[in-house]
Amino acid sequence: MSHVAKVNIEIKDLDALRVACRKVGLEFVEGQKTYHSYQRGLTCDHAIRVPQVDVERGNSNAPYEIGVIRVKSTGAYTLLVDDFAGGFGLTALSGLRAVNVVRAYATEVATKTLTRGGYLLTGTRTKQDGTIELTFNR
């Protein structure tokens, strides 16, 4: 039985994903070809992990990792995550179904896009429901 779920996101900017991971306390590992989860041997193009945890492939209680997978039809990436048992520590940082990573990524992409358009980020607020509100001025 697989616990792996596809996260509903289209990632087009790996640099923004790298920054987003760092902001939520995770590490983006470029070029890692497999990721640790309940199901063994899952392939990926890159991975996201809890930093400074050297995953022993035989240790089933090591923190799980998030697979970053290229979608051939679009060229963008998506995320595969296993939240079983809290991902053995991963979910505490990534959020359920990687929601913290998704929000941080969306925030980073919006900020990059608007600052390129001449706007200045003047405020960031996380609402009670977890959504992030950004304030920009020209």
Residue 45 lies in a domain: yes
E strands within the chain?
4-11, 27-30, 34-35, 42-43, 46-49, 66-70, 77-82, 120-126, 132-137
pLDDT reported for residue 85: 92
Domain residues for 66?
A: 4-105
Residue 138 lies in a domain: no
Residue 20 lies in a domain: yes
Cα R_g (the chain), whole angstroms: 16
Number of structural domains found in the chain:
1
List the Cα angle 108/10/71 in 5-degree steps. Answer: 135
Instruction: Say what percent of the chain tops pLDDT 90.
Output: 84
Report whether pLDDT(54) > 70. no
The pTM is what? 0.92
Residue (of 6, 77, 76) closest to 37 by Cα position = 6
